Amino acid sequence: MNPPAFIRNAVATVLEWPGVQTLVEWNAIIERKMWSAKKRQAFYKRLAMYNENGKGLRESVIELHRQALSMSGPHWMRRFDINLTALAEISDRLAADPLADALEGWAPLSERGLIRSGEASGNVAATLRLAAGHQGMVSRIVWKIVMASIEPLTMLAGVVYLILVIGKDLVGPFLTQVPAGKWPPMAKLLIPMAAIANSPLTVWVIMALIGLAVASFATMPVFTGPVRKFLDRFPPWSIYKAMEAAKWMSGFSGMVKAGTGFAKTLRQQEQWSTPWLRERLEGARDRVEGGMELGPALYEAGHDFPDRVLIADITAFAGSDNFPETLRGIGESWLEDYETKLLGVLAMSGVAAIVLVSMVMIVVTMGMMSLESVMTTSIH
């Protein structure tokens, strides 16, 4: 049911106001980001199933949209169903564009690049399943990282809070009553807490650290250069590198299995990738086009991508009869080992956080007991 003409005219007038169109565009960007990894994973799996059973991509998406529409509830709720919006827009785009382009804005560039490799190799369904599998793998690993990080981060926040409270509410007043020179050695350990708590820089430092963390995650796909190359050795950049390495190996193996040469595969992946991945592929592609084998080319590119161990395995198995499948298996096995190692590091971080909290508590307890004795003596 279409709204009355006066409502349509009013909406058109409002859209012409300065800044309103920009807000609409921002809303569309935010809306697309809300199509979660879990929803994309389910979409990829069902689209692959339909495609494997003879349905075209656009026909399949239209059918998925029809099914979602029938289960969406009352009409007024449909505007808030992000899945309906995504399927409708993707199906419209598929009338003129390939799937990877139709997913622009709805899926990250890394997933679209993987899907584009399937379109180039003629096996979209298999690549969709790869994308769904990788999305599930990434979600699983990220979930484990988040759960393993909660305890150490909570303890760290508790330590910061304890230092601020002790420094501001206890140490400060004591300093006004008893000069620091008369404090026992253990009590003097509390004085830096007061300096931290009362410094105007403390809030700015905390805000800067939070901003740096947010910026680090937001710029993962686009941050390049020598500094990024160095940071790729440490979390969270090393975790991003591991995820992208596994995705790249699956996409590369799929295109090579379909008969695409190494150099052409690298060139196509370079065109479809994020700036971060493009920087790592272009050096290897130049060397492969110059006649170098894939493993040595990746090593000489100088970014340790996908990983030194993987580069050694790629070099060792380059001449095998079933190299694409071997490459994919190596990548999946390596990622499992990396996940185990990463969770071990997080477990050690939890232990370190417990030790840190215990040390702070000991210093605070012993310091306050010492101060109590000083205050008692000064009173008497």
Confidence at residue 324, expressed as pLDDT on a 0 to 100 scale: 80
CA distance 243 to 137: 9
Going by C-alpha positions, the residue among 58, 171, 168, 117 that lies closest to residue 328 is 117
The torsion region of residue 105 among left (phi > 0), alpha (psi -120 to 50) and beta comes to left
Confidence at residue 185, expressed as pLDDT on a 0 to 100 scale: 80
Going by C-alpha positions, the residue among 96, 94, 105, 138 that lies closest to residue 32 is 105
Which pLDDT tens digits describe the chain residue by residue (380 residues)?
Answer: 455 554 555 555 655 656 655 665 566 667 777 788 888 888 999 999 999 898 999 999 999 999 988 887 677 666 778 888 889 999 999 999 999 899 988 888 777 877 887 787 777 888 888 778 776 777 777 788 888 778 788 888 888 888 888 877 777 777 777 777 777 787 787 788 778 888 888 888 889 988 988 888 888 889 999 999 999 988 888 888 888 888 788 778 777 876 778 888 888 888 878 899 999 999 999 999 998 998 999 999 989 998 888 899 888 887 777 888 888 788 878 878 888 888 888 788 778 888 888 888 888 888 778 777 766 665 55
Query: Would you give the distance in Å from CA 258 to the centre of its chain?
Result: 30
Confidence at residue 9, expressed as pLDDT on a 0 to 100 scale: 54
CA distance 252 to 245: 10
CB 353 within 8 A of CB 151: yes
CA distance 318 to 322: 9
Hey, is 308 helix, strand or coil? helix
Confidence at residue 322, expressed as pLDDT on a 0 to 100 scale: 82
Residue type, 60: S
Confidence at residue 202, expressed as pLDDT on a 0 to 100 scale: 84
Confidence at residue 59, expressed as pLDDT on a 0 to 100 scale: 92
Confidence at residue 63, expressed as pLDDT on a 0 to 100 scale: 92
CB 195 within 8 A of CB 167: yes
Which residues, in sequence order, are CB contacts of 344 under 8 Å at separation 6+?
A: none
Confidence at residue 374, expressed as pLDDT on a 0 to 100 scale: 67
Confidence at residue 330, expressed as pLDDT on a 0 to 100 scale: 84
Confidence at residue 112, expressed as pLDDT on a 0 to 100 scale: 82
Confidence at residue 370, expressed as pLDDT on a 0 to 100 scale: 77
Confidence at residue 271, expressed as pLDDT on a 0 to 100 scale: 80
Query: Would you give the distance in Å from CA 90 to the centre of its chain?
Result: 24
Confidence at residue 261, expressed as pLDDT on a 0 to 100 scale: 82
Residue with tokens 């303890």: 155
CA distance 52 to 35: 24
> What pTM, to 2 d.p., does this model score?
0.69
Residue type, 55: K
Confidence at residue 111, expressed as pLDDT on a 0 to 100 scale: 79
The strand pairing partners of 107, in sequence order, are 104
CA distance 216 to 223: 9
Which residues, in sequence order, are CB contacts of 332 under 8 Å at separation 6+?
A: 246
